[in-house]
Structures are given as C-alpha cells and as structure tokens.
Amino acid sequence: MDKIIIHIDMNSYFASVEQQANPLLRGKPIGITGKHGSIAMSGQRIKVNTDGVHDRSVITTASMEAKLLGVKTAMSTWEARKICPSLILWPGDPHKYSEITERFNKIYNDFTTKVEAFSVDESFLDVTEEAGDYFTATFIAQMIRARLRAECGEHITASIGIGPNKLMAKLASESMKPNGLTVTRPEDTLKLLDSRELDDLCGIGPRIKQRLNMLGVETFKQLREFPLDSLESEFNRYGTWLHEAAHGRDSNVIQSSTVHGLRGMSTETPKSYGHSYTLPRNTHDKLIVKRYLLGLADKVAWRMRRDNFAACRITAFIRYGDFSSHAEQRTFYIPTNDGHKLFQVAWQIIGNCFAGEPVRLVGLSASKLTHKPGQQSLFKKEQKIQSVLPALDSLQHRYGTGVWTRGSLVKTHFKQRSSGFHFDHLV
DNA sequence: TCTGGGGTCCTAGGACCC
DNA sequence: TCTGGGGTCCTAGGACCC
C-alpha cells in the first residue's frame, strides 16, 4: 500500500546550529567535535590543542564550507586539520541541538500526527491522509521549510524527500543537498534507484555491498534481476528485504512518536544506555582505567535513574592499542541503576582482561531494562550512598551532568600513590 | 603520530526445560 | 539404551544507522 512519506534531513546539522548561534562562524569551515572532558580527571594532564580538543577527537559534523574542502564526518581532527588548516574545531553542545530538534518536531506535528524522529536531525512524516496527493505533499513540504526558516533561523536548512515509503523518501532527500526538495512518485522509484549506488540506500553498508559485488551485483537493476531464492539463501531474511528494496518497496511504517520525547528523540522505550571513552593516551595503568570506568558507570546509572529504569544486563568492553577489543556481558536477576554496582560488575570483566597491552578505550552498556526501581542494598555503606543519590540526581537534573563527581575521580594520581590509599576505599 | 560515541537489530551456538 | 523437537534464555559477535 503506497503512502506519501516526507523525509526531512537537516543539513550539516550541528554545524548549522552553531553558525546560526554565532555569526562569526558563518561562511567558515568548521568541524564540530565530540564534547570532551566531561569525565576528565583533574590529576591527569591531558594534551589538548588550542581548541580544547584532544588529539583523538573526530569530526561529528562538518559545515558545508568544510565539506567542500574535503572534511568528512568521522574524520579524526588530526586528519581534518591536515586537509584543511583553516578548519575551526568547535566542541559540540548536544543539549542545544536537542532543544532545536524539539522545536522542529513541534512544527512537524502541526502538519501530521504521524511523525517519526529517526535521529536527532532526521524525521519521517506520513502525510498520506493530510495531503492526498503528491502535489499537496510538495506544498506541505514547502510550508514546513518556510516555518523551519522562520522559527529556527535561516542558517539551519533541510533537505526534503517525498516518496511512497520511508526508504524511497530518504533516498530522495539525499539526492539534493543542501536545501533540496526531491519528489519521487511511485512510478519514478526505479529511476531514482538506478541513478544511485547500492550503498546509498539506508540498510546497505560496506560489507553487504561487498558481498553483493562478489555475487556480480553492482547496481539496483542487477539486484532486481537477481533470483530471489539465491538472494535468500545468501542473506536469509535480509535477502527478501534486499529484493523488495531494489524494487523500491518498503513495508516499514511510521513509528509515531511525540514531540515531547526524550530530548527530541523517539519516545520508543530505550533498549540500552551506554557510554564509552577513548583515553587521551593509551595506558597500562589499571587505576586510570578503573577511574574512567567508574565515571562512565555513574553517567549510565544517572541516565537510567532519570528515566526510571534499571538494568538486568551489563556489557563491558575494552579496546586495546592495536584496536583489537573484548566485550563481555553479565546478566543479573535483580535490576540495578546504581553506578557503583554497575562499575563493580564492569570491573570484574575489564579487570580480568589486562594482559599487559596498552588500553585505548573502555566502555559499558546497560540493557535488559525494566521500570522496576533498583533494589535497596542490604549493606549499610551502600544504603548510605543510595540515600544521597536522589539529592545528587536532582542537582544533576537541574544543573547538568558534571555538577558532582565521586571523590575518587578527583584525587590526583600522585596523592593516591603517595598517601598509600587504595582506590577501592575512596569510592 | 591515524581510526568517536551513541544506538538498534540479527544470527548462531549452547544450556536448559518440557 | 537411544536420542527428537520446540521454546526460551544467555552470550558473543557482526552489520548497520546517525
């Protein structure tokens, strides 16, 4: 059943928001980097460049000007600077972006109730009933664009695609950037597909493309002509999806979410909460890894408590200097959202993985979420910590993460060594 | 002196239960 | 004494998305 779907994709979103907010950045190549330092420890000297960005940051969004000079998303700042010496590195502000996302999601809801926030900068709108035909849908898209401009600022632009399903609408929106409006009627979908590369389609990544190429499939036309049963025997259910996609068909429906969802994202129940951190420098020092891990566990736990979740599973992971990695998970029967407990389990896993190799990254993720609150600890010391958490959480809610931190994350490395304190006693 | 961080979904093998 | 099959949970790992 064909629908009329509008896909809206903000152009160079984070960079555009910064350029909108700061006239001095307009017309210049800027690269938004990850926010750094939220769990940095005062005792460790971190080498930062003049922008306050450490050497291992990457570009999360490049402005249009930067893209023209060859800067790409996920490129290391080091490489980006080499390609584009005039690049301005600018630390991202996720909170700011989420606020703007909520603003434009509210606009979309004035046009249809069937809105799906696909990511912080992309949304799908089902306007089948509201529009009735492609002419009216195009008119709606133009009205949305005018309102985005009026209410969010002229420097924040979007590429819009209209198609008979989500897959085609998204492919259409990517056809013209920035600020494009591409309409693909059902009869035009094959033409659209045949003008694109296999991996332009959302769902076909580099590995799948490679496997298709090995089967002699290089284009959507060849994919359409490839026998369905061969495709299914190679890719199982995914083969069926590939076959349908090559014909421009997609049965995915809009997962309606509201504008008041979690920071502009879908209100679908989250499946996991996780954080990871690449150390400014590889280390052999267990103590350093331990402290970062505790900081990450506290962040994960705080987000779960804020959203009234507790987790039954924790996955801890470690990446070594040579980029090999190890991940392990544990399931427990009593759900928890206590940072220290998460840390303890994660450390049981990570602590056993040190084999003398330098560590590059640590992370943990909490999943198998339940709405049951975490169970009260049987131990007095832990009860004491738990009793102060609500107060700390409300501080954090009001003033943002980073307003408090555990003493063990602030003590300097030197002090701990010289005083003979053991880390475990400081938590 | 390269290669982030936040997620979701799928598959496959083994354990365990009926 | 030989040994099926469905269902579910757990774990590891891979692929994809922005």
Residue A384 within any structural domain of the chain? yes
| Prediction pTM value | 0.86
CA dihedral A378, A380, A382, A388 (to 10 degrees): 120
Whether residue A249 is contained in a domain is answered as: no
Residue count of chain A, please give it.
Answer: 427
Instruction: State which H helix or E strand residue A138 sits in.
Output: helix A134-152
Contact present, A311 and A352 (Cβ < 8 Å)? no
A275 CA – B6 C1', rounded, Å: 8
Asked whether residue A352 is assigned to any structural domain, the reply reads yes
Q: How far apart are CA A402 and CA A145, in angstroms?
A: 37
Which DSSP string do the residues of A300-331 spell out, in sequence order?
Answer: HHHHHHHTT-EEEEEEEEEEETTS-EEEEEEE
Please confirm, yes or no, whether A122 is among the known catalytic residues: yes
Annotated catalytic residue within A18, A65, A122, A174 = A122
Residue A369 lies in a domain: yes
Q: Tell me whether residue A38 is in a domain.
A: no
Phi, psi at A127, each rounded to 5°: -115, 25
For position A316, which CATH number holds? 3.30.1490.100
Distance in Å from B7's C1' to A315's CA comes to: 14
Closest nt to residue A325, judged CA to C1': C13
Nucleotides of B under 7 A from a protein CB: 1-12
Q: Enumerate residues near strand C (beta carbon within 7 A).
A: A 74, 118-122, 170, 199, 201-209, 312-313, 315, 326-331, 368
Written as tens digits, the pLDDT of chain A (427 aa) is 789 999 999 999 999 999 999 999 999 999 999 765 434 444 444 444 444 556 788 999 999 999 999 999 999 999 999 999 999 999 999 889 999 999 999 999 999 999 999 999 999 999 999 999 999 999 999 999 999 999 999 999 999 999 999 999 999 999 998 899 999 999 999 999 999 999 999 999 999 999 999 999 999 999 999 999 999 989 988 999 999 999 999 988 887 754 333 333 344 689 999 999 999 999 999 999 999 999 999 999 999 999 999 999 999 999 999 999 999 999 988 999 999 999 999 999 999 888 778 999 999 999 999 987 655 556 666 666 667 766 666 666 666 555 566 666 654 443 344 333 344 333 3
Distance A367 CA to C11 C1' (A): 13
Q: What is the DSSP letter of A56?
A: T
Which residue places its CA closest to the C1' of nucleotide C18? A119
Contacts of A265 (CB under 8 A, 6+ apart): A98, A101, A117, A119, A120, A257
| Residues 6+ away with beta carbon under 8 Å from A332 | A312, A313, A314, A345
Is A170 within the bounds of a domain?
A: no
Residues whose CB is less than 8 angstroms from the CB of residue A100 and which lie 6 or more positions away in sequence, other chains included: A17, A152, A156
User: Does A230 map to a domain?
Assistant: no
Is A356 part of any domain? Answer: yes
| Number of structural domains chain A divides into | 1
Domain extent at residue A376: 272-409
Residue nearest to nucleotide C10 (CA to C1'): A331
Q: How many CB atoms lie within 10 A of CB A18?
A: 24
Strand C contact nucleotides, protein CB < 7 Å: 9-18
